[in-house]
Amino acid sequence: MPTLSNRIRLAAMEGTNSNAPLLVFLPGMDGSDLSLRRQLGGLTTAFDARCFCIPGDNTTDWMGLVKCLVALVEQRSQSSRSV
């Protein structure tokens, strides 16, 4: 299990429906959720929309980011099953 940075996270979007299937937005070059906010529209009614937030000063390589993402999704999956 990779060590997760406290700053890399799955950020809940406004109006998130935590009972719905997970939709993870993978950000572009800016590492933010700005482009998602333009597309969000009705997605939050059908999905638990989360953004994989990577701080601008993060230097984790591609495989490290993949491992962080997998671990975060697994954590969310386990926590939603226990509810």
Contact 31, 55 (CB under 8 A): yes
Confirm whether 50 is domain-assigned: yes
Confirm whether 44 is domain-assigned: yes
- What is the span of the domain harbouring residue 25? 9-81
Confirm whether 22 is domain-assigned: yes
Q: Per-residue confidence at 13, pLDDT binned at 50, 70, 90?
A: confident
Q: What is the pLDDT of residue 81?
A: 52
**Tens-digit pLDDT profile for residues 23-73:** 898 876 665 666 667 777 778 888 888 888 888 888 889 999 999 999 999
Q: What is the pLDDT of residue 29?
A: 60
Strand partners, 17: none
DSSP per-residue string spanning 49-83: EEEEE--TT----HHHHHHHHHHHHHHHHHHHH--
Is the model's pLDDT at 5 over the cut of 60? no
Query: Total domain count for the chain?
Result: 1
